[in-house]
Structure 1
Amino acid sequence: MPTVFFLNGPHADRLGAVGEEQENFPAVSARCHRAAERAGLLLDLRQTNDEGQLIDWVQEARGADGLLIDAASLAHSSIAVMDAMLMLDGPVIEVHRANLHRREGFRARTFTSLAATASICGLGVRGYELAIGAMAELIAAGRRR
């Protein structure tokens, strides 16, 4: 079964505590694991508020079949996360719950998108599930980054 890392950056651990998100991170994680099971993927889902830890995990993903990443605010600021993503051979899907293009201008562009095969934004947690299904299709098709 193909293995996919799904890495979440700052503040995902606070889902359900702020804004319009209704589900907390454990509930979102459970949804993602169910979607991965339906798609025939083994999902390694992690969350950190630390940029260095996120970089280490992206580097660790070199041994996986693909990477899903919601780097959150680090997507807009971390060239180091982008550089780590560029080292990957498999497909990479960048995911954001919010529509970045409807937020502040500096959020409309991400460094991480420059290293991604595809990007999904603005669909809330449903975007995570769609990204998992899309990743399964990319892996099955033999798509590389």
Structure 2
Amino acid sequence: MAHRILVLNGPNLNMLGTREPQTYGAQTLADVEKLTVEHGASLGLEVTCKQSNHEGELVTLIQQALGSAEAIIINPGAYSHTSVAIHDALRAVALPVVEVHLSNIHAREAFRHHSYVSPVALGVICGLGSTGYKLALSALAEKL
């Protein structure tokens, strides 16, 4: 049976391809999700992708992952820097988590240098664009 991975994308990631392509690249969220699902399948993983602009919905999706997924990849977007609720939900489900960011958050504005997700993540991948999702899947395939 394939390991099940939930990939969550937070606010504004639905705007990929049109929002600040110099920072986030030209790929759309659909492109990133397709690449992620295909790479997951090549590793024997079953990948489900979800996106929400709403913090509470992301918390609910994290909670629902308990029993339906074995690990989470999350790009919390701006909620990385503000959401104790997402931190608490990830901690509560106690699943392996990899945090992914398309841009290098440490090379950007100072407020982006802190993440509430990082302390509950196995690892953080940032600045490598959509390749970060593939690296996260590879790491989880090894871990699981």
Q: Same fold (TM over 0.5)?
A: yes
User: What is the Cα deviation at residue 106 of structure 1?
Assistant: 1.2
1:109 alignment partner in structure 2: 114
2:27 alignment partner in structure 1: 23
1:8 alignment partner in structure 2: 9
1:121-136 map, 5 Å: 121-136=126-141
Percent identical: 35
User: What is the Cα deviation at residue 90 of structure 1?
Assistant: 2.5
RMSD: 0.9
1:30-49 map, 5 Å: 30-49=34-53
Q: Deviating runs (4+, > 6 A) in structure 1?
A: none
Is contact 1:62–1:87 with CA below 8 Å preserved after alignment?
Answer: no
- Normalising by structure 1, we get a TM-score of 0.93
One-letter code aligned to 1:4: I
Report SS of the residue matched to 1:49.
coil
Structure 1, gaps ≥5 residues long: 140-145
User: What is the Cα deviation at residue 79 of structure 1?
Assistant: 0.1
Structure 2, gaps ≥5 residues long: none
Is contact 1:35–1:129 with CA below 8 Å preserved after alignment?
Answer: yes
2:63 alignment partner in structure 1: 59
One-letter code aligned to 2:45: L
May I ask how many residue pairs the two structures share in their alignment?
139
Q: 1:82 aligns with which of 87, 97, 106?
A: 87
One-letter code aligned to 1:70: N
User: What is the Cα deviation at residue 88 of structure 1?
Assistant: 2.2
